[in-house]
Amino acid sequence: MNADPRARAPARSRLPVWLWAVPAAMAAARTLPWLAMQVLDPPARSAWDGVGYIPKDFLQYLAFMRQTAETGAWLLIDPFTLEPQSGRFLAPGLSALGALAGALGAPPAAVLELARTPLLFAFFAVLWWFVAPFVRADDGGRERALACVLVGLSGGLEVLVRPFGELLPEEPARMLAQGTWQMNGWTTFAAAYNPLWIAGGIGVMVWLRPVLGDRARGPLALTALAAGGFALYLVHPYSAVGALAIGAGAPLLAAAAGAPLGRARALRLAGVLCGAGAAIAALAQWQRQDPVFAAAAAEALGGQQLSPFWYPLVYGALGVLVLRGARRWARGAHPLRFALLGWVGTVVLLHTSPLFNGYHFASLLHLPLCILATPALVAAVDRIRTTGTAVRGSAIALLALVFAAPILQSAESLATLPRTHTIPEEYPQIARALSALPAGGVLCSPRLGNWIPAHTAQRVYVGHHFLTPDYEERARAVREWTRSPRGAPALRRLVREQPIDYAVLPTRAAAPAVAALAPLAHAQRAIGRFTLLELAPREP
């Protein structure tokens, strides 16, 4: 690299038309599981759950979307618990999609899935702008386009390795499956399963470019940047926390590596971070005054971090390009090289942190790695075009490994549908029956409790693992009390003490509970293998 080999690309340079094929391909591939459910029959005595990925979380998204679609509210309640609450959950992204679903009369699940496509196109429009300062401006935009391709389609080979976990003892096998799970968002393609992560990624790029390049000057620009950090928090809190950490950590790590920081820049950066942090803290303090929100917010802390040990699998051959490209960056004098390495270092610290659930931040690592790898990708493409057969073959093999991940991950998502996305065939019938009844509280299994708020106005005693206070204790108690005659007194006491209006129980497995609650019910009906009990009004 020369003194400044990657001068800023011209701002007027347009994204090539052919490059729009990348977000189109990503959107199509990531929507495949949901599309497959529309045309394929589920296994016998089951139904599709109707969400493309991670039912436990996507059903929570649908519950919030449904609230806004049906009530117009943007300050939401937690429907996965029966405690009194004032409604301080704020998810503007989901509420916007819910409002759209309500206006169109469309199912929230369809709106959530189809929102991925425009968001990915917007992501690539912003990505084209974002990478401009990191690439050469004298090659007609080729390096810039290849950087975008790398961001959208590169990945590892963990899907090929994970089946060998069956040969390992139980605990190492579990660690392999969890650590290399594509839903961790190790790559941009993997993270694109979640529309909220795509929206968060857009916000991260918009916010970080002026921060890393120290482009924001003056009170108005700095105030706008602080407000932007707060706005990003409203869109996707984990993206905002990650962006603020990178905004602080990247310059500090760069300074530790010898890059000048400067007192003026440090003061500007501190002002932006303090302004955004103060607004976020004020909102969080107001929200935490509601006990239900406070209990849910506490779940953000935890030890579910991800180890760099998985990098060779989740990044695979991309890691070779990263190492080659990093050497080129290290030899050059690009003004952003230290900031880029500081970004990587900050995210590594975030996703390995034992203080909070660091897995939420792994998706922020792929973009800077791809920027680091871009010079090596350009060199590999040049070797394919200009060198002999042997060298050309090795370069082609390397790139085939780099870009195999979307195909492998899409195939895995489709292959696991019958195992991960089926529900008892009665669940939709139960939702229809509960929708015809006045809104109230429902006692049921945690799995059914996670389904009901996504499709009805009912609240549940236990449902989503994150949004139900004391989830483990409640889930254990419900299992014990509904499956043993000894649990009948505790179950009847629960129904009398909690605002529970309905019970939905598997008729055979929970026969003791059905018998215990039948005297308290004024209506009872069978729904396939389940029994719906409409309980009598509680005594004052």
Measure the CA–CA gap between 347 and 352, rounded to whole angstroms: 8
Domain ranges (residues) in the chain: 17-30+117-130+145-417, 424-535
Q: Which two tokens stand for residue 489?
A: 């007194």
Identity of the amino acid at 108: P
Identity of the amino acid at 357: N
The helix (H) or strand (E) run that includes residue 443 is strand 441-443
The gap from C-alpha 346 to its chain's centroid, in whole angstroms, comes to 19
**Residue bearing tokens 């679609």:** 69
Between strands 89-90 and 75-76, the pairing is antiparallel
DSSP per-residue letters across 128-172: HHHTGGGS-SSSTTHHHHHHHHHHHH----HHHHGGGGGGS-HHH
**Residue bearing tokens 């955004």:** 276
3-class SS letters over 40-51: CCCCCCEEECCC
The gap from C-alpha 432 to its chain's centroid, in whole angstroms, comes to 29
Residues sharing a CB contact under 8 Å with residue 236, sequence separation 6 or more, in sequence order: 93, 196, 197, 199, 200, 203
Query: Is this structure's pTM higher than 0.85?
Result: yes
User: Sign of dihedral through CA atoms 99, 104, 109, 110?
Assistant: negative
**Residue bearing tokens 């049921």:** 444
Measure the CA–CA gap between 314 and 309, rounded to whole angstroms: 10
Render each residue's pLDDT in the chain as its tens digit; 540 residues: 333 444 444 445 788 999 999 999 999 999 999 999 999 999 999 999 999 999 999 999 999 999 999 999 999 999 999 999 999 999 999 999 999 999 999 999 999 999 999 999 999 999 999 999 998 876 778 899 999 999 999 999 999 998 888 889 989 999 999 999 999 999 999 999 999 999 999 999 999 999 888 777 888 989 999 999 999 999 999 999 999 999 888 888 777 767 677 788 888 888 999 999 999 999 999 999 999 999 888 776 666 788 999 999 999 999 999 999 888 877 776 778 888 888 999 999 999 887 777 788 999 999 999 999 999 999 888 888 776 666 778 888 889 999 999 999 999 999 999 999 999 999 999 999 999 999 999 999 999 999 999 999 999 999 998 899 999 999 999 999 888 888 889 999 999 889 999 999 999 988 989 998 988 899 999 999 999 999 977 554
Residues sharing a CB contact under 8 Å with residue 376, sequence separation 6 or more, in sequence order: 320, 321, 322, 324, 325, 328
Q: Which two tokens stand for residue 56?
A: 């436990």
Residues sharing a CB contact under 8 Å with residue 199, sequence separation 6 or more, in sequence order: 93, 119, 235, 236
Backbone angles phi, psi at 333, to 5 degrees: -130, 35
Are 301 and 355 a contacting pair, CB within 8 Å? yes
Listed in order, strand segments (DSSP E) in 16-118 are 46-48, 75-76, 89-90
The helix (H) or strand (E) run that includes residue 525 is strand 521-527
